[in-house]
Structure 1
Amino acid sequence: MYLSRVVAGPCAALSALIEAVGVVEAARAVRECALPQALRGPTRARREIDCAERDLTAMERMGGRVVTPDDPEWPAWRMLGLSRLDSGRDQDGGVPLVLWVRGPRSLLEASERALAVVGARCSTPYGDQVTADIVSDLAAQGWTIVSGAAYGIDAMAHRAALAARTPTIAVLACGVDRPYPAEHERLLAEIADIGLVVSEYAPGVTARKHQFLARNRLIAGLADGVLVVEAGLRSGARNTVKWARRLGRPALAVPGSVNSAASIGCHRMIRDGEALLVTRSEEVIEETGPLSLPGTTTDPQDGLTGDDATVYAALPKSEPRQPAELSTHTGLPLPAVRASLVSLELAELVANSENGWHRTPSKRFASSRREPGHARRI
C-alpha cells in the first residue's frame, strides 16, 4: 500500500525491484532512497508519504479492501500478461502493485469468464440498444461485464448487467471512493452492491488524463476479450483495443451506419485489422468463450481426470505456458506436467509452439474464423 502511494500507478522499474528483492526490502530501499537511478525520479516526490494505515481505515469504512498479489483473490493469470509486456514499449504496462476493491465478489472468480465492453461517451440510441442486447445475452449465460464507468457505452454496459442481476466490474482511473464521473455516483454504488469497483489508485486519488490510458490495460487484462460498440475516430476505446492486442486478447467491434460519426472508429479498426467484426452475442462467445470440440461436451475439461484435468485447467486461453510455469502453478512435479501435456496433445486439446504450450481452438470454428490482421493466441 505504501509503494502504491509512492508511484501512483504502474511502474515497471519498481515491479522489477520487488521481483528481485521482495516487497519489504523494496519498501525499505524506497524509504531510504537506496535505489537504482531509474527509480529515484519516480519515487522522489512521495517516498516520505506513508498513508497505508489511513488508507486501510478508509477502505474498511466504505466496506472495501486492498488486494495484493499474495491474496487468494488476486487474478494472477490475468495479471501475468501485463508482467510480460516490454516496459520500454509500453511504459504504462506494468502489473499493478495492489488493487483497491469495493464489492462482495471475489475478483479472481468474477473475472474468470469476462468480457470488456467499451465505446463512445456520446453514444447513440443504436449503440445503446446493441450494447444492451449483447450484454443481456452474455449476462444470461453467466458472463461478467468489465468496463470503465464512463458516459455512453460504458454506463450502458454496466446498467444492462445490473438489470440482469449479474456481476459487473467497473475499473476506475481514480480512488474507488471518488465517483468519476460524479454523475455516476449512484451507478457505482449499485455496481459495488452486486459486483466490483476496482482501481490501482489509492483512496482519495483524483482522476488525471494519463491515468485513464493506464487504466485501460486493466480493463483489457481482466477480461477474455474487448468489445467496442461505437467509437469516434479519436476514441479512447482504441487504446483499450491496443492493450487487448498486446495481451493476446481478441478485439471485437460492432459496425454501425457508414454515415454515423459515432462508428468511424469501429470501422477503422475493422478495416485496419485491429478488431474483428461482430454483430451479436453468439459471435462474441465464438471468439472469446470456452473452447469446445464437435461431437463432445461443450467444455473440453469434461471427461478429463487427475493430472490431465489439473494441467488443462491451469492453461489460460490467451497466453502460452512453459511446463515449469505449469508445475509451479499446479504443484505437480515437472515430469507429471510433461506427461499430461503429451496426453492432452494426443487428445488435440493442447499444442506446443515456440512460446510454450497453449490450448487449441475448437475445430468447429477453425475453418470459419478469420483472423483480424494479427495472430490470436489461444
Structure 2
Amino acid sequence: MEMLLGDAEVVAAARRLRPDEDVADALARVAWSVVAEPGDAVAGTLIGELGAADALGIAFGGSRQGTFALLDAAGSGSRALSEARKRWRPRADPRAVRDALRSAHDVGAALLIPGDPHWPHALDDLGVNAPTVLWVRGRAELLVAEPRASLVGARASSGYGEHVAAELAGDLAATGTVIVSGGAYGIDGAAHRAALGVSGATVAFLAGGVDRAYPAGHQSLIRQIAAEGAVVSEPPCGAAPTKWRFLARNRLIAALGHATVVIEAGWRSGSLNTAGHAAALGRPLGAVPGPVTSAASAGCHRLLREYDAQCVTSAQEVRELWGMGAGSSSSARPVDPDRIRLLDAMSTRARTSVDELARRSGLGPDRVRALLGLLELEGEVQRDDGGWRRIPAARGA
C-alpha cells in the first residue's frame, strides 16, 4: 500500500476519478481489482474484516494477529492465504493500477466503491464474494433505481426468443423497470435494445473492462447503453473478457435484479449459471417456456422442472415475481472454477509455461501444476519441451 501511495502518478490518476476524497481506500480497492479475480473469497474475507488497505498489506507479506482465525471462520485458514498470495503476486504491479485508473479516466468511467450513494447494496448479499469496486460508464444511479429485472438467455437465440425478450423488456422498461443483462448477442441484446427503444433504463454488466466493448459486434449498442443507461464491470479497465469472468459476471446480474427471468436457454446454457446464482441468493426466478421440440428452450424447461422456477409468459407475470420467494436450487454437480480459469488461459496452438499460466489465470503455480496433471490424465492438455497447450476438441463434440 505504501508503494501505491508513494507513486505520484498512481495517486494523481486516482485523484482524477475521486478528487474530493482520501484516495487510500479507493487505491487499495483498485489494486484488489487488479490482483484478484472476481469473487475471490479469500480477498473478500480479508477486506471485509480488515479494510481494503490493511488487507492489501496482509496479502503481500504482512502479518496481523487473528488473520488466520478470521480465515478459519470463513472455512479456510493459513493454507488458503498462502495459496492466495501465490495467485496475487504475479499481478502485483503499481503500473497496472495506474493504467487501470488512466484508462477509466480516458473513457469517462466512474469508480464506485462501497459507501458511495450509488453503490448497489443488493450486491452485498454475495458476502465474501461481493465485488470490491465497480467501474461504471453512464448513469450510475440506475444501479440503485427500483425495480430491476434481470433478463438473460442464450446467445444463439431463435426468432421466438428474441421476440419474447423484446416484448418483456419493452413493456417492463416502459413502465419504469430497469432492465439488467449482460450485453451479449441474442437474448441480452434484444432486451437491451427493447429497453432503449422505449426510452427506458438498462444496465449491461461486462465480463471485461468497461473500456473494451465485447462482443465486437455490439460496440454500437454498448456505446448507446453507456450514453443512455449504464455499462458496468468488476474487472478493471484493460481486463479481457474470459470464460471465468463471464461466469463470475453472472452472479452480479442475478444479485442486482429483484427477479431473474431466463427467456431462452439450451440445456447447458450459461444462463442457467445466472439462474443458479439467483436461486442461491433467494431471488425470485422465472423461465419462459418454449416449444417442447426446441433445443433452444430445453434449459428453460429444466429450470421449470428442477429449480421450481415460475412460468413467465408476460411482463405482468415478471412483475408478480417481486413479491414471491425464490425457488430451490438443483443439486447439479458443481464445476471446479479453477479448472475453467486455467483452460481459459491456455491456447490450442502456442505452448505456455506454468508461470505464464499462473499469471494469466490468477492461480498459484502449485495449483496450476496440480490441475495440469489432472487435465493431462483426462486428455484435455498436452505437455512437451516448449510448455503446455490445450488439446482441441474433436469436431462434433
Query: Do both proteins adopt the same fold according to a TM-score greater than 0.5, normalized to the shorter chain?
Result: yes
1:170 aligns with 2:215: no
SS across alignment from 2:111? strand
Mapping 1:117-136, distance limit 5 Å: 117-136=151-170
Contact 2:142 2:229 in 1 (8 A): no
Q: Deviations over 1:158-205 (max 9, x none)?
A: 000010111111001101111111111100000000111111001111
- Percent identity over paired residues: 44
Q: Give the distance between the partners of 1:373 and 1:11, measured in 2 at CA.
A: 25
Measured in 2, the distance between the counterparts of 1:108 and 1:121 equals: 24
Give the structure 1 partner of residue 255 of structure 2: 221
Distance 2:62 2:90 in 1: 11
1:74 to 119, 123, 138: 119
Match of 1:254 in 2: 288
1:233-272: per-residue Cα shift (whole Å, max 9, x none)? 1111100000000110011000011111111111111122
Instruction: Note if 1:103 corresponds to 2:103.
Output: no
Residues 165 and 29 (structure 1), Cα distance of their counterparts in 2 relative to 1, 3 Å cut: same
Query: In structure 2, what residue type is equivalent to 1:267?
Result: H
Q: What is the alpha-carbon distance in structure 1 between the residues aligned to residue 44 and residue 195 of structure 2?
A: 34
Cα separation, partners in 2 of 1:50 and 1:2, compared to 1, 3 Å: farther
Establish whether residue 22 from structure 1 lines up as the match of residue 45 from structure 2.
no
CA distance in 2: counterparts of 1:159 and 1:33, whole angstroms = 49
Gap runs ≥5 in structure 2 = 1-29, 68-80, 330-397
Aligned AA (1:82): L
Number of positions where the alignment pairs a residue of Structure 1 with one of Structure 2 = 285
Moved more, 54-63 or 188-197: 54-63
- Structure with greater proportional helix content: 2
User: Matched residue of 1:116: which SS?
Assistant: strand
- SS at 2:286 equivalent: strand
Secondary structure of the residue aligned to 1:232 is coil
Say whether the 8 Å CA contact 1:148–1:154 is kept in structure 2: yes
C-alpha distance in structure 2 between counterparts of 1:170 and 1:108, whole Å = 10
Structure-1-length-normalised TM-score: 0.71
Alpha-carbon displacement from aligned partner over 1:120-143 (angstroms, at most 9, x marks no partner): 111111111111111111111100
Q: How many angstroms does 1:44 deviate by?
A: 2.1
Distance 2:295 2:123 in 1: 35
Cα RMSD, aligned residues only: 2.0
The 5-angstrom pairing of residues 228-239 of structure 1 reads 228-239=262-273
Match of 1:313 in 2: none
Residues 66-215 of structure 1: matches in 2 within 5 Å? 66-76=111-121, 78-83=122-127, 94-110=129-145, 112-215=146-249
CA distance in 1, matches of 2:127, 2:315: 31
Q: Which residue of 1 aligns with 2:371?
A: none
Q: Distance in 2 between matches of 1:223 and 1:44?
A: 34
1:108 Cα offset (Å): 3.8
Task: Give the SS at the match of 1:230.
Answer: coil
Aligned equivalents of 1:70, 1:50: Cα separation in 2: 26
Deviating more after overlay: 45-54 vs 18-27: 45-54
TM-fit CA distance, 1:8: 3.0
Residues 140/126 of structure 1: CA separation in 2 closer, same or farther (3 Å cut) = same
Q: CA deviation at 1:29?
A: 2.6
- Listed one character per residue, the Cα deviations across residues 334-371 of structure 1 (whole Å, up to 9, x for unaligned) are xxxxxxxxxxxxxxxxxxxxxxxxxxx7xxxxxxx9x7
Contact 1:113-1:143 within 8 A present in 2 as well: yes
| Residue aligning to 1:62 | 107
Q: Which whole-Å CA distance do the structure 2 matches of 1:286 and 1:274 have between them? A: 16
TM superposition score normalised by structure 2: 0.68
State the partner residue of 1:309.
none
Q: Which amino acid is the alignment partner of residue 80 of structure 1?
A: D
Equivalent of residue 91 in structure 2, options 28, 33, 46: 46
Query: How far does residue 231 in structure 1 lie from its aligned partner after superposition?
Result: 0.6
Q: Aligned partners of 2:135, 2:154: CA distance in 1, in Å? A: 26
1:10 to 39, 44, 55: 39
- Aligned partner of 1:176: which letter? V
Q: Is the 8 A contact 1:101 1:199 kept in 2?
A: yes
Give the Cα separation in 2 of the matches to 1:126 and 1:107. Answer: 29
Q: How far, CA to CA, are the matches of 2:194 and 2:44 in structure 1?
A: 36
Matches within 5 A, 1:246-285: 246-285=280-319
